[in-house]
Amino acid sequence: MSSTIPSELRYTETHEWVRSQEDGIVTVGITDHAQHLLGDLVFVELPEAGRVVTAAEGCAVVESVKAASDVYSPVDGVIVEVNELLADNPELINEDPYEEGWILRIKTSANLEGLLDAAAYELIAIDEDEDEEGSLTNAKLAG
Amino acid sequence: MAKRTPLYPCHLALGAKLVDFGGWDMPLHYGSQLKEHHQVRNAAGMFDVSHMTIVDFPDPDPTRVLLRYLLANDVARLYPGKALYTCMLNDSGGVIDDLIVYDRGDNGYRLVLNAATRDKDLAWIAPRAERFNAAWRERHDLAMLAVQGPEALAKLEAVLDAPTLQAVRASGRFHAVESGGAFIARTGYTGEDGVEIMPSVQDAPALWNRLLDAGVAPCGLGARDTLRLEAGMSLYGSDMDETTTPLVSGLGWTVAWQPPERDFVGRAALEQQRAAGAPQTLVGLVLEERGVLRSHQTVHDGDREIGFTTSGAFSPTLNRGIALARVLAGVGDRCQIEVRSKRLSAQVIKPPFVLRPA
């Protein structure tokens, strides 16, 4: 499985991407690799704007047909906006993970240099693709 | 190495996402589980279910006696060409497996059992079959394809001759037609009309490809699970197992109590539980707010924990979280389900979740 990893973004080991904007605001979503692993998304639990978060803290939940998965804040900061469109259209994350499928915006003073760059994240994604050839944790399916 | 069905190369060619299921490499989906689900509800889809265990009993008379003892439903209700859904119980009334038995007239009976339970099923059946002098053999030489959906029968024009298709149409649900070595049953695991075809291993790939060319969408085990759940059909190992009886699993309707003199394995235990009143019941839950339900979430009635979900999913048809749950008998029409430390309210219903005109 090959997935898109835009070179201008920063990444976490837990499959979030981060795009920095002006005024110390960053946009956060989950990577193309992550949405591939999850499969069709059917529900997104969004936080309230104004919530203070610390790096690696769970701040949203994405649920696919297969499993629920936490979205972790990549940085310390305050959530200033969430993508309300996802409430009715969780599939935006599958269709366009880096643009329309963004999840939240955080105001932060953190330096993004500590996060992974595209090359480093690609190594993690490739490793996982190889591991994934095995079994599914949610093995109770049908028949 | 994992076992592979004769359609494995077809799945690879279609870019299926494969998963291990009960020791088999099976397709989970071919790109989008949701699209496959809708395809079956709205048109026609097909599933490779060749991993399931097919066992033939060629001798009708000894087998009838055996199966009337071995199965909780009564094969005396059958006639040639008719199918029956039943549980196979242990002495405590726990479910060893659920299965479909087909009456093949002079050719005896055919059982279709789950893949994951194959070894224990056959170990349970073998000594009892021997005691009743009923010969049997597993049909490794057969594959199995389920073609399901409102357009399923129309699509079969691509693979069946006109008289056979006419016979399938005329046969009705839960009947099977045998023609020229093919076995075509109006059964399935989606709640839709359709068939399960059991061709030879050699013929299976050509059959699959002709259906594909006719516009039948390939569908994986992921869609199969959400379709069966919407239809209120039980999944062995999740909704019932050896520690639960049919009476606490929403399967009381599959137990043939009449005639009272028929002695079947588990009967005494079931009668005792029925007399005392089954302590639990299997119900359907429909989430009233946004979210997804999963198995093993606790169910509450106010302060009281009353049970847990046995299967849960997001219903693509209803656009809601749904679940089957084993709860205390006497549950009301509302409850709460704990999802990530939050209580979400749900409506209690009698399955199925999605109704289909027969």
Inter-chain contact A39–B33, Cβ cutoff 8 Å?
yes
B167 and B24 in a single domain? The answer is yes
The residue among B230, B245, B263 that closes a domain is B230
Query: Does residue B207 lie in a domain region?
Result: yes
Contact B294 A68 (CB under 8 A): yes
Provide the mean pLDDT of chain A.
89
Domain map of chain A by residue range?
A: 10-129
Nearest by CB: B21 against A43, A61, A139? A139
Q: Quick check: A87 and A24 in contact, CB under 8 A?
A: no
B340 contacts in A (CB within 8 Å)?
45, 61, 68
pLDDT at residue A134 tops 60: no
B330 found inside a domain: yes
pLDDT grade for A143, boundaries at 50, 70 and 90 = very low
Side by side, the strands of the sheet bearing B176-179 are B176-179, B182-185, B194-197, B145-148, B45-48, B217-218
Burial group, residue B275, by CB count within 10 angstroms (0-12, 13-18, 19+): exposed
- Chain B 32-51, residues with CB within 8 Å of chain A CB atoms: 32-34, 49, 51
Claim to verify: residue B325 and residue B204 sit in the same structural domain: no
Domain termination site, one of B201, B230, B259 = B230
Residues B281, B292, B229, B271: what is their CA dihedral angle, to the nearest 10 degrees? -10
Strands B217-218 and B45-48: parallel
Are A139 and B20 an interchain contact pair (Cβ–Cβ within 8 Å)? yes
Burial class (CB in 10 A: 0-12, 13-18, 19+), A34: buried
Asked whether residue B204 falls in the same domain as residue B337, the answer is no
Inform me whether the C-beta atom of residue B314 falls under 8 Å from chain A C-beta atoms: yes
Cβ-defined contact of B221 to A42 (cutoff 8 Å): no
pLDDT at A126: 84
Q: What CATH number should be reported for the domain whose range is A10-129?
A: 2.40.50.100
Residues B265, B132: contact at Cβ < 8 Å? no
Mean pLDDT of chain B: 97
pLDDT confidence bin for A135, thresholds 50/70/90: very low
Is the domain of B31 the same as that of B164?
yes
> Model confidence over B199-210: pLDDT tens digits?
999 999 999 999
Residue matched to tokens 């205390």? B328
pLDDT the model gives residue B356: 63
Q: Indicate whether B45 and B151 sit together in one domain.
A: yes
Asked, for residue B13, whether it belongs to a domain, the answer is yes
For testing contact with chain B, the best of A1, A37, A42, A91 (most B CBs within 10 A):
A42
Task: Report yes or no on B260 lying in a domain.
Answer: no
Same domain, B161 and B219: yes
Residue B292 domain flag: yes
pTM, two decimals, is 0.94
pLDDT, one tens digit per residue, over B234-250 is 999 999 999 999 999 99
Q: Residue A22 pLDDT > 90, yes or no?
A: no
Which pLDDT score is estimated for B355? 78
Question: Which range has the worst mean pLDDT, A20-29, B85-94, B140-149?
Answer: A20-29
Q: Does A137 touch chain B (CB under 8 A)?
A: no
Q: A142 contacts in B (CB within 8 Å)?
A: 189, 221, 224-225, 228, 235
**Are B147 and B207 in a shared domain?**
yes
Q: Label residue A118 by pLDDT band (50, 70, 90).
A: very high
Q: What is the CATH number of the domain that holds B23?
A: 3.30.1360.120
Let me know if residue B33 belongs to a domain: yes
Would the pLDDT of A1 be above 90? no
CA distance B173 to B205: 26
Distance (Å) of CA A20 to CA A5, A8, A35, A72: 16, 9, 21, 17
pLDDT for res A38:
94
- Residues B257-295 have pLDDT tens digits of 999 999 999 999 999 999 999 999 999 999 999 999 999
Residue A141 is predicted with a pLDDT of 41
Q: Verify cis geometry, omega within 30 degrees of 0, for the bond prior to B127.
A: no
| Nearest residue of chain A to residue B239 (CA atoms) | A140
When pLDDT is averaged across residues A38-50 and rounded to a whole number, the result is 96
Kindly state whether residues B201 and B302 are assigned to the same domain.
no
Q: What is the pLDDT of residue B211?
A: 98
Percent of chain A with pLDDT over 90: 81
Given a cut of 80, whether residue A95 has pLDDT beyond it is: yes
Interface residue of B1, B7, B19 to substitute, partner A, most A CBs within 10 Å = B19
**Do B329 and B278 contact (CB within 8 A), yes or no?**
yes
CA-nearest of B25, B72, B91, B105 to B249 is B72
* pLDDT given for residue A139 in this prediction: 33
Residue pLDDT, tens place only, B179-222: 888 899 999 999 999 999 999 999 999 999 999 999 999 999 99
Tell me what percent of the residues of chain B surpass a pLDDT of 70: 99
Domain count, chain B: 2
Domain end residue (candidates: B203, B230, B257): B230
In a domain, B261, yes or no: no
CA angle A20, A23, A26 (to 5 degrees): 30
Within-domain flag for B65: no
- Please indicate if any CB of chain A lies within 8 Å of the CB of B21: yes
The ipTM (two decimal places) reads: 0.86
For the segment B45-71, the average pLDDT, to the nearest whole number, is 98
The reported pLDDT for the residue numbered A131 is 56
Same domain, B169 and B309: no
Domain ranges, residue B286: 279-351
